[in-house]
Copies of this chain bind each other. A is one copy, B any other.
């Protein structure tokens, strides 16, 4: 799926352009377009700040006007923190990412996102070229993001909208979840040790206390390796004998 173009309008510092390129590549975006970069182009500081995203910097296209930069695009989004004197649709980055994915998946659209320069953001004329505004929900008392941070958040939402990573996984390497039988064998063995070590104050309390101990281990979602470790701990503590005073 074609990723959206990132269009930086009147960007000032090369460092920021480089950091935008890095944030883009983090999110799988590569089509960088610059409108009137203040310090000219190519720019060594942009190269240096790209930290490995040099390809994105090298392939950046430079334009003199926003019109030229977006000429081939069919669906344009403008990022802005300010409220405008414009009647516009305003999307969260998450909704915009879904919108971009849907538009691109139709095969009809080529999308791009406009970002204003460090100093004054986008002009109303540039915003009026967009099909929708993207406004990032942030602390209302401290909304100002730097350029690369804004690019990162939009790119991140675009990336995660198409990403299949399960929200929760477990790195268990060569281990596998313990079977209920493996856990049971350990709990019984532990119980025998506790009986012999006079852990239980009364016979009547034993079932309740053992149930709580069982729950404590159950909660941790043990692997087969964990259970082997617990057997080893139990054996080792018995072998150690009473602590010396």
Contact = CB atoms under 8 A, between A and B. Distances in A.
Interface residues of A, number: 53
Nearest to A56: B142
Contacts of A94: 160, 167
B168 A95 contact: yes
A91 interface: yes
Interface string A163-177: 101111111110100
B25 A171 contact: no
A183 interface: no
A137 interface: yes
A142 B52 contact: yes
Contacts of A137: 159-160, 163, 165
A196 interface: no
A144 B51 contact: yes
A87 B145 contact: no
A139 interface: yes
A20 to B, nearest CB: 11
A143 to B, nearest CB: 7
Protomer copies: 2
A53 interface: yes
Contacts of A86: 171
A223 interface: yes
Interface of A: 19, 22-23, 25-28, 51-53, 83-92, 94-95, 133, 136-139, 142-146, 148-149, 152-153, 156, 159-160, 163, 165-173, 175, 223, 225-226
A170 B87 contact: yes
Nearest to A86: B171
Contacts of A148: 149
Given A90-B171, A92-B167, A170-B90, A26 B138 contact: yes
A89 B167 CA distance: 10
The 3 closest A-B pairs by CB, nearest first: A95-B167, A137-B165, A28-B139
Nearest to A226: B87
Given A153-B152, A153-B156, A167-B92, A139 B27 contact: yes
A145 B23 CA distance: 8
Nearest to A85: B173
A171 to B, nearest CB: 5
Nearest to A160: B137
